Structure 1
Amino acid sequence: MQALEHEIKALVIESLNLEDITPDDIDPTAALFVEGLGLDSIDALELGLALQKRYGVSMSADSEETRKHFASVRALAEFVSASRTR
């Protein structure tokens, strides 16, 4: 799971063009939105598209379940991992 978390951290940085940050700078349990990385709704859309392209996962933009998946890098990794085994 750590390898997948690292991949997702790199994807976040790449897809959102975050400067001066490395995957090691991102706490896998820290919030992605508001606090933590401070991402916003536009970032969520871009990240969702990047996840869909890279891992073939899809999620509803307004779903409460999607909000849980986007809570942290670890939550995203768990979602991607679970989606792969279906």
Structure 2
Amino acid sequence: MDSLTPEELELSTLIIEALNLAMDPQDVDPEAPLYGGELGLDSIDILEISMVISKRYGFMISSESENKVEIFSCLRNLCTYVQSHKVK
């Protein structure tokens, strides 16, 4: 498992706190699938993650985005997208 960058750790912490997951943010594999992977996330969880990202970083990931599957494919991809779009 790759180690998390500071940005990935911040996002991992945000996700774990928002979804009330019983795990350490540092234990999230940045390359593991978010949807249906080791975190066991479903479409409602992904929606919740979108909402906390919107509040925290000042932009919305639209459910209409063509590349939303790739954006949410793993923590690393999500973090890269957040870092390149964040307003706050």
How would you bin the TM-score normalised by the shorter chain?
0.7 to 0.9
Whole-angstrom distance in 1 between the partners of 2:19 and 2:64? 20
Residue in structure 1 matching 2:7, options 4, 7, 20: 4
Q: CA deviation at 1:75?
A: 0.6
Q: Give the Cα–Cα distance (whole angstroms) in 2 for the partners of residues 57 and 36 of structure 1.
A: 27
- TM-score where L is the length of structure 2: 0.86
Task: Choose the corresponding residue for 2:37, options 13, 35, 38.
Answer: 35
Structure 1 residue ranges, 4+ long, deviating more than 6 angstroms after superposition: none
The structure with more helix, counted as a fraction of residues: 1
Extract unaligned runs of 5+ from structure 1.
none
Partner of 1:69: 71
Query: Alpha-carbon deviation of 1:61?
Result: 1.2
Number of matched pairs: 84
- Which amino acid in the other structure matches residue 62 of structure 2? S
Give me the TM-score of the superposition, normalised by structure 1. 0.87
Identity %: 40
| Cα root mean square deviation, aligned | 1.7
